[in-house]
Structure 1
Amino acid sequence: MKYLINGLLLCVMLLSDMALAHQQKAAISTVLFNPRTENIEVSHRFYLHDAEHAVKHIFGKNADIINSKETQEKFFEYVMQRFSLKNDQGEPIALSPVGFEVDGRFFWVYQETKQPFLLNGLTVEHSALRDIWPSQVNTVNIEGRGDIKTRTFDGSIEVAKIEFK
């Protein structure tokens, strides 16, 4: 019995390690209305394993997001081109690049802008990696303007509107 339980535990551990090695095809972004800085701070978190596969598809088989600052910069720019915010009047909100980093299992992209004076809502578009993998799911959390609002970009959803009360 002891060997059976140990064997089952070993199988579960191996399967969970294998699952972590596969692409997740999911990203999480946060749009934070920071009252201290009066900025809108945007952070995007991609699984590094997904980003590794993506850069080879986008930039060629020699792209290396782990060891190449050039590839990291290209992926950073790619993400910034595929994420946008518009105010409730439909006007673009220009996001400035802040930077990027590799942190453990994740690749982070950071952007920011000053909060517009009057803002009753946002339109969000997040298509990063969805042009490569239709099954990619991008989740965006909007924080700092009342309750946290979450929008998920999957399937045919390309744009989401959020109203603030």
Structure 2
Amino acid sequence: MRSLKNAFAAALLLCSAMASAHRFHAGITDISFNARTGNTEIVHTYMAHDVEALLANLYGRQFDLTDPDDQDVLRKYVEGRFWIGGQDKARLPLRWVGMTADPEKVTVFQEIEQTPLWKAGAIHDNVLIDFIPDQVNTVNLNEGNAVRTLTFDRNQLEQPTR
């Protein structure tokens, strides 16, 4: 009987650990200029669980992010919540390059064609922040030998790049 109680307690502990395993919500975006192509490249990485929960909540169904139609839904969402403004405050034209998804993460690739990073004046990042109150997005701006980091949350959705 004692072994059964210990096994039950261990199972409860395991279930409790699994339920609390996903306590933080974070996204990472790396932005850098590719001198070879002349493009500024943007790579976003989000937790797959958070993206799946967002899409299920918005549309009431499960999504298959290997399906081009479902990827298009995510594309529209990201494009509506992440943008880079030029020094004149107008949005720079971000081009969707593609995305990958696996059980752990969703990675989105964008670029600004023929535009160096120094032309950016501000970044707006509300991806998942509008859905998950404690979401924190980190944006790393790689400008040659220097990397600057900006942090976005529900209190700070837009920041200057300089």
Same fold? TM cut 0.5: yes
The answer as to 2:62 corresponding to 1:56 is no
Query: Equivalent residue of 2:140, what SS?
Result: strand
Query: Equivalent residue of 1:93, what SS?
Result: coil
Instruction: Read off the aligned partner of 2:47 and give its amino acid letter.
Output: Y
Name whichever of 64-73 and 119-128 sits farther off. 64-73
Query: Sequence identity of aligned pairs in percent?
Result: 30
In structure 2, relative to structure 1, the CA distance for the partners of 1:143 and 1:50 (3 Å cut) is same
Q: Which runs of 5+ in 1 are unaligned?
A: 1-9
Instruction: Read off the aligned partner of 1:83 and give its amino acid letter.
Output: F
1:88-99 alignment, distance < 5 Å: 88-99=87-98
Q: TM-score, normalised by structure 2?
A: 0.79
Question: Would you identify which runs of 4 or more consecutive aligned residues in structure 1 move more than 3 Å?
Answer: 65-69, 115-121
Distance of 2:66 and 2:33 partners within structure 1: 33
The answer as to 2:131 corresponding to 1:132 is yes
In structure 2, relative to structure 1, the CA distance for the partners of 1:134 and 1:99 (3 Å cut) is same
1:85-164 alignment, distance < 5 Å: 85-116=84-115, 119=118, 121-163=120-162
Instruction: Read off the aligned partner of 2:41 and give its amino acid letter.
Output: E
Partner residue of 1:47? Answer: 47
Instruction: Read off the aligned partner of 2:115 and give its amino acid letter.
Output: P
Q: TM-score, normalised by structure 1?
A: 0.78
1:117 shift after superposition: 6.4
- RMSD of aligned Cα (Å): 2.7
Query: Alignment length, in residue pairs?
Result: 151
Instruction: Read off the aligned partner of 2:76 and give its amino acid letter.
Output: E
